[in-house]
């Protein structure tokens, strides 16, 4: 009451914080965002390294890995030759790390944290201490996941989906995986509560829901997905922990015989229960990966085509609908688990329905370009690259969503190709776009354009070389998660030769990340300095100084109009910022 009214007077006074409080245990959303971002980028690189190791084995099954091979222990790669268990570990951990420790923390943790409060004109997140707890919980989860590589028997090796009974009887790494996941789930629950409250409560005056930038909308819907979809996985995780540690049999039916010995458990469980709970999370999780990417792309496309987003409202409604529907399509991952007609028809129908809002959003982006004055700078290239790549990813989802067409395609490389198109050249390109776009806001400096373009063209070409052949291999019927890439099977013979080329492309992709890494660090210290709004953008984050101080804005801004008022007829300049007072 009287206390709080006085606060505004010294709102901008900040005692100097020590190193630990300012950079490590910070409660400032921008520092936390950057912490998330850097940690996630490290994890992305780590997950990518796991994949490159796997690609060696797929390209040259059973051959010793030169140079690096000798670095590995005898339990993983004796003589530099990978063992099947280690391959399975790499596969499981690649998936887990990329999704839960790489892309989501980058898309939600980093961009969400850094950009959302700025875009809605807030001084910080609603609960700064929770925000810090969220990061450190994520960090702890990451450490547990990494440590699991040291566990006897290696890291989790039952796939990122951890289907029981395999995961119930797997080596100790699976227990670490579960504990790590519980940390990550806690982190994202804390984070999502924070995001929703921040967006709903801390919007500045005048920023109505329909004036929020599309990115904020995307984060809001994403936060709801995380909030409501993760708890079932937590429940499933607890049950699997019980199965592993307390010998219960939630996921173990009666009468299992493992390697000739009857399993000594009470039985009566259901392996399908895990799949339901897992996919109840993991399908919305797909949209957690995509929606923030779409948000970033919307910002960048509007900015660089210098015109408003076409059909902003329909895109927002599609977004909400997409989020809602994503909760009731999960069993399309389970068509082949003995599903009858009724239930499969239900899930096929919801799956087809959910494709419509995706089409709407993509169409919005395409049509938004029409009539613009498109600037082809690096972030725009990445955002434009997202569109066709996500298009392929989305379209290849269609045959998988129709249960009859799914029969031959289920669990083949077609599936791998499909979701990698969505997540890798799709989401990742958008995330790179975001990094190039908001880099000046975080550092006050801009990244080098030339090397950015090298990074873009190298990445998009290599990614297609990796993922397109997967679709072909999948149509030929090659199963996923094969240690020798399918060399055991005669029917796979005609498409095996792609493996080497795909692997070479993967390693080349690593080379093309070097310009990015160097550019990134060079630009932090030596990049060209720019003013607070280098892209001449309309949204509010660009009103704050670069980098924004603790508390963000010099004076709390007020929103007077929608987020994308570019090239307003009759205006002096081709952009009219959201918080520029109307000339009345």
Partner 1 sequence: MGDSVEDIKKHVRTYVMVFVVLLFLTGVTVGISYVDMGHTMNIVLALVIATIKASLVAAYFMHLISEKKLIYYTLLIAALFFIGLMFLPTGQSLDPIHL
Partner 2 sequence: MLIPYTVKPRPDTGLINSKLGIWLFLASEVMLFGALFSSYILLRVNSVDWPVGSTILSVPIAAFNTVVLISSSITVIMAWASLKMGNLSKGRMYILITFLLGLTFMCVKAYEYNTKFHHGLFPSESTFMAIYFTLTGLHGLHVLGGMIVFAYFWGPGAKMWKTEPEHFTNRIEIVGLYWHFVDLVWIFLFPVLYLL
Partner 3 sequence: MDKFWGMPDIASAHGAEIDQLIGYVHYLMFALFIFWGGFFILTLIKFRGSRPGPANYAGAKGKFSTYLEVVVAVIEAVLLIGFSIPLWAKRVNEFPTQDTNVVRLVAEQFAWNIHYPGPDGVFGKTSFELVNNETNPIGLDRDDPAAADDVTTINQLHLENDKPVIIHLSSKDVIHSFGIPEMRIKQDIIPGMSIPVWFTPITEGNYEIACAQLCGLGHYRMKGYVTVHDSAGYQAWLDEEAALLAEEEEGDDFWE
**How many positions of this chain bind partner 2 (CB under 8 A)?**
53
User: Binding string, 309-328, against partner 1, x = CB under 8 A?
Assistant: ---------------x--xx
How near is the Cβ of 337 to partner 3 at its closest, in Å? 5
The structure tokens listed for 429 are 């390109």
Positive or negative, the CA dihedral 455, 458, 460, 462 is negative
User: Binding string, 472-491, against partner 3, x = CB under 8 A?
Assistant: x--xxx-xxxxxx-x-xxxx
Question: Residue 222 interacts with partner 2 (CB under 8 A)?
Answer: no
Measured from the CB atom, is 140 or 352 closer to partner 2? 140
- Neighbour-count burial of 293, counting CB atoms closer than 10 A to its CB (0-12 exposed, 13-18 middle, 19+ buried): buried
Question: Residue 128 interacts with partner 2 (CB under 8 A)?
Answer: yes
Report angle CA 519, 521, 523 to the nearest 5 degrees: 65
Q: Which of 432, 214, 388 is nearest to 302 (CA)?
A: 214
Measured from the CB atom, is 34 or 277 closer to partner 2? 277
The residues that bridge with 66 in the sheet, in sequence order, are none
Instruction: Tell me which residue has tokens 């898309």.
Output: 107
Task: Check if the beta carbon of residue 151 is closer than 8 Å to that of residue 171.
Answer: yes
Question: Residue 159 interacts with partner 3 (CB under 8 A)?
Answer: yes
Task: Check if the beta carbon of residue 350 is closer than 8 Å to that of residue 322.
Answer: no
Please choose which of partner 2, partner 3, partner 1, none residue 1 contacts, taking the beta carbon within 5 to 8 angstroms, the exact cut-off set by kind. Answer: partner 2
Question: Residue 578 interacts with partner 3 (CB under 8 A)?
Answer: no
Instruction: Tell me which residue has tokens 């890439």.
Output: 485
Question: Residue 264 interacts with partner 3 (CB under 8 A)?
Answer: no
Among 81, 133, 204, 273, binds partner 1 (CB under 8 A): 273
Question: Residue 75 interacts with partner 3 (CB under 8 A)?
Answer: no
Measured from the CB atom, is 225 or 470 closer to partner 2? 225
Instruction: Tell me which residue has tokens 């000798």.
Output: 70
Longest CA–CA span in the chain (Å) reads 84
Among 276, 375, 453, 550, binds partner 1 (CB under 8 A): 276
How would you classify residue 247: left for phi > 0, otherwise alpha for psi between -120 and 50, otherwise beta? left
How near is the Cβ of 407 to partner 1 at its closest, in Å? 13
Helix (H, G, I), strand (E, B) or coil at 445: strand
The two beta strands, 445-446 and 528-529, are antiparallel
Please choose which of partner 3, partner 2, partner 1, none residue 343 contacts, taking the beta carbon within 5 to 8 angstroms, the exact cut-off set by kind. Answer: partner 1
Please choose which of partner 1, partner 3, partner 2, none residue 189 contacts, taking the beta carbon within 5 to 8 angstroms, the exact cut-off set by kind. Answer: partner 2
The CB-side HSE value for 106 (13 A sphere, CA atoms) comes to: 28
Measured from the CB atom, is 49 or 204 closer to partner 2? 204
Distances (CA, A) of 97 to 104, 117, 137, 155, 265: 10, 27, 15, 12, 32
Please choose which of partner 1, partner 2, partner 3, none residue 376 contacts, taking the beta carbon within 5 to 8 angstroms, the exact cut-off set by kind. Answer: partner 3
Residues 164-183 within binding reach of partner 3 (CB under 8 A): 164-166, 169
User: Binding string, 230-259, against partner 2, x = CB under 8 A?
Assistant: xxx-xxx-xx--x---xxxxx---------
Question: Residue 204 interacts with partner 1 (CB under 8 A)?
Answer: no
Task: Check if the beta carbon of residue 438 is closer than 8 Å to that of residue 530.
Answer: no
Residues 149-178 within binding reach of partner 2 (CB under 8 A): none
Q: Which of 454, 456, 450, 457 is nearest to 527 (CA)?
A: 450
Measured from the CB atom, is 161 or 363 closer to partner 2? 161
How would you classify residue 50: left for phi > 0, otherwise alpha for psi between -120 and 50, otherwise beta? alpha
Among 4, 264, 341, 555, binds partner 1 (CB under 8 A): 341
Task: Check if the beta carbon of residue 445 is closer than 8 Å to that of residue 524.
Answer: yes
Query: What is the phi/psi pair of residue 45, to 5°?
Result: -65, -40
How near is the Cβ of 285 to partner 2 at its closest, in Å? 14
Measured from the CB atom, is 271 or 394 closer to partner 2? 271
Task: Check if the beta carbon of residue 324 is closer than 8 Å to that of residue 349.
Answer: no
**How many positions of this chain bind partner 3 (CB under 8 A)?**
104
Measured from the CB atom, is 276 or 504 closer to partner 2? 276
How near is the Cβ of 417 to partner 3 at its closest, in Å? 13
Q: Which of 404, 173, 372, 188 is nearest to 284 (CA)?
A: 188
Q: Which residues bind partner 1 (CB under 8 A)?
A: 200, 224, 228, 232, 270, 272-273, 276-277, 280, 324, 327-328, 331, 334, 337-343
Q: Which residues bind partner 2 (CB under 8 A)?
A: 1, 3-4, 7-8, 11-12, 14, 122-124, 126-128, 189, 192-194, 196-197, 200-202, 227-232, 234-236, 238-239, 242, 246-250, 265-270, 273, 276-277, 280, 550-552
């Amino acid at each position: 009451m009287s206390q709080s009214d006085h606060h505004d007077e010294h709102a901008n006074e900040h005692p100097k914080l020590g190193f630990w409080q300012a950079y490590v245990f910070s409660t400032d959303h921008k520092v936390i965002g950057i912490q998330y971002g850097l940690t996630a980028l490290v994890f992305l690189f780590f997950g990518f390294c796991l994949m490159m190791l796997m690609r060696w084995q797929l390209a040259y099954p059973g051959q010793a890995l030169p140079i690096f091979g000798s670095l590995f222990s005898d339990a993983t790669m004796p003589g530099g030759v990978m063992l099947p268990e280690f391959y399975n570990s790499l596969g499981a951990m690649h998936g887990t790390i990329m999704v839960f420790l790489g892309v989501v923390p980058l898309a939600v943790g980093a961009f969400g944290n850094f950009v959302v409060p700025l875009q809605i004109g807030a001084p910080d997140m609603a609960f700064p201490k929770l925000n810090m707890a969220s990061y450190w919980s994520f960090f702890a989860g990451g450490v547990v996941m990494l440590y699991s590589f040291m566990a006897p028997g290696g890291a989790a090796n039952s796939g990122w989906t951890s289907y029981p009974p395999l995961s119930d009887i797997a080596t100790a790494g699976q227990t670490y995986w579960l504990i790590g996941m519980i940390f990550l789930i806690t982190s994202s629950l804390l984070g999502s509560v924070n995001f929703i409250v921040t967006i709903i409560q801390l919007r500045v005056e005048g920023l109505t829901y329909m004036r929020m930038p599309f990115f904020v909308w995307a984060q809001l819907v994403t936060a709801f997905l995380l909030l409501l979809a993760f708890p079932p996985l937590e429940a499933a995780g607890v049950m699997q922990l019980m199965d592993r540690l307390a010998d219960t049999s939630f996921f173990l039916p009666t009468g299992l015989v493992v390697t000739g010995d009857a399993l000594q458990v009470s039985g009566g469980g259901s392996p399908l229960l895990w799949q339901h709970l897992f996919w109840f999370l993991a399908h919305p999780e797909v949209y957690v990966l995509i929606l923030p990417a779409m948000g970033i792309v919307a910002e960048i496309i509007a900015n660089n085509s210098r015109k408003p987003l076409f059909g902003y409202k329909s895109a927002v409604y599609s977004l909400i609908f997409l989020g809602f529907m994503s909760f009731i399509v999960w069993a399309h991952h389970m068509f082949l688990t003995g599903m009858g007609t009724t239930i499969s028809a239900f899930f096929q129908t919801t799956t087809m329905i959910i494709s419509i809002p995706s089409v709407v959003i993509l169409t919005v982006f395409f049509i938004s370009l029409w009539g613009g004055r498109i600037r082809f700078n690096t972030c725009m290239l990445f955002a434009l690259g997202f569109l066709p790549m996500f298009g392929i990813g989305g379209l290849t989802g269609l045959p998988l969503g129709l249960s009859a067409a799914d029969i031959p395609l289920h669990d083949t490389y077609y599936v791998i190709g499909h979701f990698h198109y969505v997540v890798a050249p799709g989401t990742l390109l958008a995330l790179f776009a975001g990094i190039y776009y908001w880099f000046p806001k975080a550092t006050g400096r801009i990244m080098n354009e030339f090397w950015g373009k090298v990074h873009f063209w190298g990445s998009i070409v290599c990614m297609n070389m990796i993922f397109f052949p997967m679709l072909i291999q999948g149509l030929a019927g090659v199963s996923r998660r094969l240690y020798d890439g399918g060399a055991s099977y005669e029917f796979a013979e005609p498409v095996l030769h792609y493996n080497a080329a795909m692997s070479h492309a993967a390693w080349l992709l690593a080379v093309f990340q070097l310009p990015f890494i160097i550019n990134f660090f060079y630009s932090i210290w030596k990049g060209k300095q720019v003013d607070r709004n280098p892209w001449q953008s309309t949204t509010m984050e660009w009103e704050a100084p670069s980098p924004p101080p603790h508390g963000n804005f010099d004076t709390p801004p007020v929103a007077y109009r929608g987020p994308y008022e570019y090239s307003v007829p009759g205006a002096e300049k081709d952009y009219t910022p959201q918080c520029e007072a109307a000339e009345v």
